[in-house]
């Protein structure tokens, strides 16, 4: 009986250790130009950033966008992240490669499998009360 229990336990643990299918992907978008910032955009970059904003809104409307954000870190520079819902890595790549910032080579992108585990409420844009 002990052996049977041990076998069932080991099989249960092994099944928990299996990778869970991923249907979300994090895009790390890093500007190609080293001194890139929203304060020093060229006219072309400004136009492409506006197109990028419309692209994000469309992803949001389609239910593909989970979150979009920007990182401002003096040690790591300026870059953005997107978390998108996509069926597989190829679908995620298609989404990322259709982003105007990527298509126009303003940023380079990296795709990382991701899974949202918990999500808090959206922050109040007016700040704390």
Average pLDDT over every residue of 87-102: 96
Beta bridge pairs of residue 112: 26
d(CA 76, CA 112): 18
pLDDT classification of 17: cutoffs 50, 70, 90 = low
Domain ranges for the chain, please list them.
19-114
Whether 3 shows a pLDDT value over 90: the answer reads no
Q: pLDDT tens, 33-82?
A: 988 888 889 999 999 999 999 999 999 999 999 999 998 887 777 889 99
Q: Which residue has the higher pLDDT, 115 or 3?
A: 115
- DSSP per-residue letters across 76-128: TEEEEEEEEE-SSHHHHHHHHHTSHHHHTTSEEEEEEEE------PPPPTT--
Whether 120 shows a pLDDT value over 90: the answer reads no
Q: CATH says 19-114 is which class? A: alpha beta
């Amino acid at each position: 009986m002990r052996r049977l229990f041990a076998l069932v336990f080991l099989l249960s643990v092994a099944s928990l250790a299996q990778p869970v299918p991923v249907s979300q992907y994090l895009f790390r978008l890093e500007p190609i130009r080293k001194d890139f910032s929203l304060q020093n955009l060229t006219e072309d970059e400004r136009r492409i950033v506006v197109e990028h904003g419309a692209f994000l809104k469309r992803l949001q409307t389609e239910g593909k966008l989970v979150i979009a954000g920007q990182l401002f870190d003096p040690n790591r520079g300026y870059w953005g992240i997107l978390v998108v819902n996509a069926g597989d890595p190829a679908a995620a790549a298609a989404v990322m490669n259709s982003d105007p910032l990527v298509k126009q080579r303003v940023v380079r992108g990296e795709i990382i499998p991701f899974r949202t585990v918990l999500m808090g409420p959206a922050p109040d844009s007016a700040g704390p009360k």
